[in-house]
Structure 1
Amino acid sequence: MELKEALVKIRKVFLYSLIVASIYGFFEILISVFGYVFLYPILKGFNYFPFLEVNLHPEGRISTISYEPPFLAIYLITISGWMFSYILTSKRLTRFLPTFAIFVLTYFSGSRTGLIVIFFQGFVFLIFLYKDLRFKKYVINFLAGALVVFSVLLVFKGEKVIHSVTEKMNSLNFQKNLTKNVSNQSRFGMQYAALQVFSENPITGVGFGQQAYHNRTHYPSWATRNNYEFELYYKNKKEKAFPPGYNLYTRLLAETGLIGITLFLMLLYFSLNEIRLLMKKAKEEEKTILMIVSISLLGLYINWFQIDTFRIYGIWLCLAILIRIRYNKNLILKNE
Structure 2
Amino acid sequence: MAVRSLPLAGGWADLLREGIVGEGARNQMARVFVIVSLVPLAFNDLPSILPVGELSRDGFIYMVPFLTLYLMWSKDRIIIPTPLVYFVAAFSVIVLLGVAVNYNEIIDTHFKGRSGFSRVVTQGMSFAFGVLIAFVFYNLTLRGFVGSIVLGARAAILVMAAFGIIEVASWYSIPGLTQLHDLVSIVVHSGTPHYPQRLRSTAFEVSWTGVMLTFFFPFATINDGCRKKVILFYIAIVAFLVILSQSRTAMLVFGFQILLISWFYFRHRVDVLVHIVAGSSIAALLLVSNVKVYTLVTETAFNVVEYGRFSRSETAEENVSNITRSASISAGISMLLERPILGVGFAQFGFHYPRHLDADDFRSYEVRAAVKDNDQWPPSYSLHARMLAETGIVGYLAWLGFIVVYLIRSLHRTFRVQDSSTSVHLGIAMTLSGWLLLGFSIDSFRFFGGWIAVGVALALQTAGSFSYRRWSAG
With structure 2 as the length reference, what TM-score do the two structures score?
0.60
Matched pairs, number: 319
Residue 264 of structure 1: aligned partner: 399
Could you tell me how far apart the structure 1 residues matched to 2:445 and 2:384 are? 11
What is the one-letter code of the residue matched to 2:153?
F
Deviation at 1:188, TM superposition (A): 0.7
Query: Is residue 103 of structure 1 aligned with residue 246 of structure 2?
Result: no
Query: Is residue 25 of structure 1 aligned with residue 164 of structure 2?
Result: yes
Residue 210 of structure 2: aligned partner: 73
Could you tell me how far apart the structure 2 residues matched to 1:140 and 1:261 are? 41
Residue 308 of structure 1: aligned partner: 443
Greater RCO (Cα-Cα under 8 Å, separation 6 or more) = 2
* 3-state secondary structure, aligned to 1:254: helix
Query: Is residue 332 of structure 1 aligned with residue 467 of structure 2?
Result: yes
Query: Is residue 221 of structure 1 aligned with residue 359 of structure 2?
Result: yes
Could you tell me how far apart the structure 1 residues matched to 2:228 and 2:469 are? 40
Q: Of 128, 142, 145, which residue of structure 2 is paired with 1:6?
A: 145
Q: Choose 189-198 or 16-25, whichever is displaced more.
A: 16-25
Residue 246 of structure 1: aligned partner: 381
Residue 197 of structure 1: aligned partner: 335
* Post-superposition CA distance 1:205-248 (Å, at most 9, x none): 111111222221011222212x221333x112232x53121111
What is the one-letter code of the residue matched to 1:13?
G
Q: Does structure 2 conserve the Cα–Cα contact (< 8 Å) formed by 1:245 and 1:251?
A: yes
1:47-126 equivalence runs, <5 A: 47-48=183-184, 51-53=187-189, 57-58=195-196, 60-86=197-223, 89-91=225-227, 93-126=229-262
Could you tell me how far apart the structure 2 residues matched to 1:122 and 1:219 are? 37
Could you tell me how far apart the structure 2 residues matched to 1:333 and 1:79 are? 26
Q: Does structure 2 conserve the Cα–Cα contact (< 8 Å) formed by 1:271 and 1:319?
A: yes
What is the one-letter code of the residue matched to 1:203?
I
- Report the identity percentage: 20
Structure 1 residues 108 and 49: alpha-carbon distance in aligned structure 2, compared to 1, 3 A threshold: closer
Q: Does structure 2 conserve the Cα–Cα contact (< 8 Å) formed by 1:25 and 1:63?
A: yes
Could you tell me how far apart the structure 2 residues matched to 1:250 and 1:24 are? 33
Could you tell me how far apart the structure 1 residues matched to 2:327 and 2:257 are? 28
Structure 1 residues 7 and 168: alpha-carbon distance in aligned structure 2, compared to 1, 3 A threshold: farther
Once superposed, which parts of structure 1, at least 4 consecutive aligned residues long, lie more than 4 Å away?
135-155
Deviation at 1:319, TM superposition (A): 0.5
Deviation at 1:162, TM superposition (A): 4.5
Higher Rg of the two aligned structures? 2
Residue 321 of structure 2: aligned partner: 183
Deviation at 1:92, TM superposition (A): 6.0
Q: Does structure 2 conserve the Cα–Cα contact (< 8 Å) formed by 1:249 and 1:305?
A: yes
Query: Is residue 211 of structure 1 aligned with residue 349 of structure 2?
Result: yes
* Post-superposition CA distance 1:243-276 (Å, at most 9, x none): 1211111112211212112212211221122224
Deviation at 1:43, TM superposition (A): 3.8
Query: Is residue 159 of structure 1 aligned with residue 281 of structure 2?
Result: no
Deviation at 1:151, TM superposition (A): 7.8
* Post-superposition CA distance 1:161-185 (Å, at most 9, x none): 75145312442259xx9x7111111
What is the one-letter code of the residue matched to 1:69?
V
Structure 1 residues 94 and 264: alpha-carbon distance in aligned structure 2, compared to 1, 3 A threshold: closer
Q: Does structure 2 conserve the Cα–Cα contact (< 8 Å) formed by 1:129 and 1:136?
A: no
Could you tell me how far apart the structure 1 residues matched to 2:401 and 2:437 are? 15
Could you tell me how far apart the structure 1 residues matched to 2:185 and 2:168 are? 20
What is the one-letter code of the residue matched to 1:295?
M
| Higher-helix-fraction structure | 1
Q: Does structure 1 conserve the Cα–Cα contact (< 8 Å) formed by 2:332 and 2:380?
A: yes
